């Protein structure tokens, strides 16, 4: 599943390409979207803003219409110049939204809905989003309070709960815990305020470092070069994620991994740098 940094970069790229432009083309294989297109008309509207909130993408159109999408595990947005070949087969296309200069294509997007501001406020899973880790006004105290209100949850699993804090996914879950020196299987009630505060700030720091401005003008919405270590080597960009059995970059111990949480997501950690005492289980 794309994490908050990927969605942030996607929104930023789409916003720069589309904001202020008039929609000249709209097509979707999703019947509910096409029905809105027929009834309310998408062509002729302007794209006012594209933004990310957690792992949701909001494309705000003129006359109070919002296209809400969620990538889940397989979705992605691409942008193309007129006449440019798509990098995915047309069979994977779900939405095409174009202006005179740019074609934005959503591939394999499983959740796509049109909303008004009022219906969006009533959408349960969106309404229940916690504060975004990448929000301009970072609400660290509220995130801290949300975590402390769930004392029996393991911190690794809690970091994935979008109702507590929005934007952290499975990669950053492991990386944030390592960067904070906290074992991901510790229950929140065993963590001090200082430890929780460090986890929250590390989440902000790690995700923010991955949405820095690119040095190129490429029109790209995905980036496989996620980095939490500050190192550039292909095998050195992440501290622990997907490194089971490999030596820890910090102490040399073998990285461990195990399933965690309701979804049995794989978590990675260093047993030496992130020890777990019996009292903390």
Which residues form the catalytic set? 2-3, 55
Residue 123 CB contacts under 8 Å (≥ 6 apart), including other chains: 68, 113, 115
Q: What is the C-alpha separation between 226 and 6, in angstroms, rounded? A: 9
**Residue 205, helix vs strand vs coil:** helix
**What's the token pair of residue 31?**
């019947």
The count of C-alpha atoms lying within 13 angstroms of the C-alpha of 32, restricted to the half-sphere facing its C-beta, is 8
- The position carrying tokens 């309070």 is 145
Q: What is the C-alpha separation between 141 and 139, in angstroms, rounded? A: 6
Residue 84 CB contacts under 8 Å (≥ 6 apart), including other chains: 103
């Amino acid at each position: 599943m794309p994490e908050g940094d990927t969605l942030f970069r996607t929104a930023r790229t789409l916003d720069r390409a589309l904001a202020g432009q008039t929609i000249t083309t709209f097509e979707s294989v999703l019947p509910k979207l096409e029905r809105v297109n027929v009834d309310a008309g998408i062509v002729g509207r302007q794209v006012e803003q594209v933004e990310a909130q957690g792992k949701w993408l909001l494309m705000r159109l003129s006359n109070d219409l919002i296209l809400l999408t969620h990538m889940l595990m397989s979705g992605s947005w691409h942008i193309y110049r007129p006449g440019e070949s798509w990098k995915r087969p047309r069979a994977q296309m779900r939405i095409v939204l174009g202006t005179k200069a740019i074609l934005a294509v959503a591939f394999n997007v499983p959740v796509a809905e049109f909303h008004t501001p009022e219906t969006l406020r009533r959408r349960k899973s969106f309404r229940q989003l916690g504060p975004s880790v990448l929000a301009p006004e970072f609400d660290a105290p509220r995130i801290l309070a949300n975590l402390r209100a769930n004392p029996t949850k393991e911190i690794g699993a809690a970091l994935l709960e979008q109702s507590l804090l929005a934007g952290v996914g499975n990669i950053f879950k492991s990386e944030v815990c390592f960067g904070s020196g906290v074992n991901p299987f510790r229950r929140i009630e065993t963590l001090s305020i200082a430890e929780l505060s460090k986890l929250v700030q590390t989440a902000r720091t790690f995700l923010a470092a991955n949405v820095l401005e690119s040095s190129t003008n490429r029109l790209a919405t995905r980036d496989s070069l996620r980095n939490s270590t500050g190192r550039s080597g292909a095998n050195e960009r992440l501290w622990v994620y997907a490194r089971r059995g490999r030596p820890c970059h910090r102490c040399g111990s073998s990285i461990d991994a195990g399933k965690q949480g309701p979804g049995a997501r794989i978590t990675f950690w260093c047993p030496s740098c992130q020890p777990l005492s019996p009292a903390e289980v």
